[in-house]
A = this chain, B = another copy of it.
């Protein structure tokens, strides 16, 4: 059978299927469950400096082509996170997602998680529905550059920069964060939804992030654009539900993929289904390892 190990920066993974930030990764118990169910790694829900309740319900709404969400970066704050995760057994397979409103917050958060033994961080530069953080920070090229460099300078963490697709010039953003060890592409698209009989928005926050199958064509394009331009390690995310979807991302340059909304459709079996499918594809198509198809469609 073909090998499906991969690497992202200096991180080696047994398999390329990673749980995306924000879906079933708030509690340590659920993170362990994903790893036991076959995820190659897990990204935590994004953690900030202080506790946030997030938006009131409804925080999600299913649409025919995916999911709208505005959870609102609910998180217990870094102190409580450290308390819950300081003796967490699977730190090497866990990438901690952090968000902040400025360089200092990002650096503080990164320092705190390094202290308790994590070695990888994903920078949420892209949540599209919370004021003052996420994509609002993630659109500011200077700030993005400084956040990434400062964390690289001041910690030994592997840094994944998760970029927003809601921009005119994704390449400029990728270049601003080029000191990162990898790019995670993409976060959700800014979107909204309407209920026509009550004439109200389906999310309490009005605006939310759109994920699931409907965003895959945009995510593929983002991975292609950035891989073609930079050749760097990319973690592909956005609408991946089946192993076929995963293969598409690998062919365009992703070295690993993340799965979020598909948990809604496939539940915890999604990891093994996708991994089995990838193996079978590689075998059937005569490839001995995943590496052989990564970026295969992109002339660089």
The residues in A between 48 and 82 inclusive whose CB is less than 8 angstroms from any CB of B are 63-66, 68
Smallest CB-CB separation from A197: which chain B residue? B285
Smallest CB-CB separation from A194: which chain B residue? B248
Per the bound structure, the CA–CA distance linking A207 and B224 in Å amounts to: 9
Q: Is the CB of B218 within 8 A of A189?
A: yes
Per the bound structure, the CA–CA distance linking A217 and B248 in Å amounts to: 24
Given A139-B168, A217-B210, are A196 and B247 neighbors across the interface (CB < 8 Å)? Answer: yes
Given A65-B65, A218-B191, A297-B201, are A196 and B139 neighbors across the interface (CB < 8 Å)? Answer: no
A residues lining the B interface (CB < 8 Å):
63-66, 68, 139, 166-169, 189-194, 196-197, 199-201, 206-207, 210, 213-218, 220-221, 224, 244, 247-248, 251-252, 281, 285, 293, 296-297
Q: Is the CB of B220 within 8 A of A65?
A: no
Per the bound structure, the CA–CA distance linking A206 and B298 in Å amounts to: 10
A190-B218, A199-B293 are known contacts; what are 7 more A-B pairs with Cβ within 8 Å? Answer: A63-B217, A139-B168, A166-B168, A167-B168, A192-B221, A210-B217, A214-B217
Given A199-B297, A244-B196, A297-B201, are A191 and B168 neighbors across the interface (CB < 8 Å)? Answer: no
Smallest CB-CB separation from A201: which chain B residue? B297
Q: A240: shortest Cβ distance to chain B, in Å?
A: 12
Contacts of A196 in B (CB 8 A): 244, 247-248, 251, 281
Q: Is the CB of B221 within 8 A of A207?
A: yes
Per the bound structure, the CA–CA distance linking A214 and B281 in Å amounts to: 27
Given A168-B167, A214-B213, are A220 and B193 neighbors across the interface (CB < 8 Å)? Answer: yes
Q: Is the CB of B297 within 8 A of A213?
A: no
Smallest CB-CB separation from A214: which chain B residue? B214
Smallest CB-CB separation from A248: which chain B residue? B194
Per the bound structure, the CA–CA distance linking A192 and B253 in Å amounts to: 13
Q: A260: shortest Cβ distance to chain B, in Å?
A: 16
Smallest CB-CB separation from A297: which chain B residue? B199
Smallest CB-CB separation from A64: which chain B residue? B213
Contacts of A190 in B (CB 8 A): 218, 221
Smallest CB-CB separation from A210: which chain B residue? B217
Given A247-B196, A248-B194, are A189 and B217 neighbors across the interface (CB < 8 Å)? Answer: yes
Q: Is the CB of A192 within 8 A of B167?
A: no
Per the bound structure, the CA–CA distance linking A244 and B167 in Å amounts to: 29
